[in-house]
Structure 1
Amino acid sequence: MKKLLIIGLLATAFTASAQEAKFGIKGGLNYGATGEYESPQEGAEDFTSSFEDGENKTGFHAGVFAQFEMLGIFIRPELMYTELNTKYSNFNYKLDKIDAPVLVGVNVLGPLNIKAGPSFQYILSNKLENTNMQIGEVEKDITMGYQLGGGLELGRLGFDVRYEGAFTENTAFSESASDNFSIDSRPSQWILSASYSF
């Protein structure tokens, strides 16, 4: 909570002294996966488990942003709806979340910039598709990860590419004891976006 308060105060102070501010909408595609699927091995007497990495799939995101710039440095808070899809051998895993990255960026050469910062996520829902198995809710509704990448600003239009990762596991378990599996729901994905400033 203290970290959120400090970030909020810094963003407020920066906004108050910013020389340029803009607001807009953005959206695009994300390509990645959640973490490992773990299940007990059939007939294993020593209770060992098998692990499976998810296969990357395409999802999408859409939302709004603000950007406050001063002396070539900017702060860019965003509020995004994101759908992340992952393919495992016997089912698909779908994660819907609200992302709130707060990125600090630098204009490096003409219209090019680089940016990085924390990304807070709130899990709206997670579910399995193409299977009869049922999954419960994730351990934590709110988690923090990071985003880093670069962008190109052409007037009101913007384009950027980022990588998003997470700092800690956020596991969801099966709802029935007979299934007995878990999935690490933290994201690992590439994000391709287009934006428009008003």
Structure 2
Amino acid sequence: MRCYLLFVVLAMVACGGTAAWAEDAEPETDLSGQAQETLDSAKETADQAAKAIDKNEKAQEISAGILKPIYQLAEAISHPAFHWIGFAIMVAGVVSFALQLTLGKLVVLAHAGFSPAEILSDSLGLVVSLVGLVLTTQAAAENSSFTGSASAVISATVVGAVVGFVFYLWGQRQEVEAAKGRSAKAAIAKESKESK
């Protein structure tokens, strides 16, 4: 059920974004018109499915079951120190993954390595960290005095940036070692083929 709901949400986002782009562009062929009709139909189907799920009592129970422990945990730990830690962790993630996607990938390319899986993984980490940073800041503004204290925000940012840089260095070292290992493995395989 949750996988289906995730699919519906992703389809709605994709359809909404593509539909907005398609409205700005002029249809060049009949294929563009058919694509627009398909997108509209998919969006309508996704909207209907989301409404049906929202009205389903079992889905509401599942949703409440998922959210209840999160709300309880949020109430139990809702104080400025928690928001300081959460903010610092999210800053660390943003710094680490942003550096991994820029400097880290350049260093790995310099060692003749390239991993699409690592790029996707780091991109996801960056997006999660950015979303987490926004949500942490919003929650702190509504539930604590964290955002009202300049010293708390600055210190959390500095600590998060330092921790993020350290994690970036560790991640870069691992990627470079993996790239060297792949190169060595390819060289050994090439030598064994040539020797045969």
Give the TM-score range, shorter chain: under 0.3
- Larger % of strand: which? 1
Higher relative contact order (CA 8 A, sep 6+): 2
- Structure with max Cα Rg: 2
Q: Which has a greater percent of helix?
A: 2
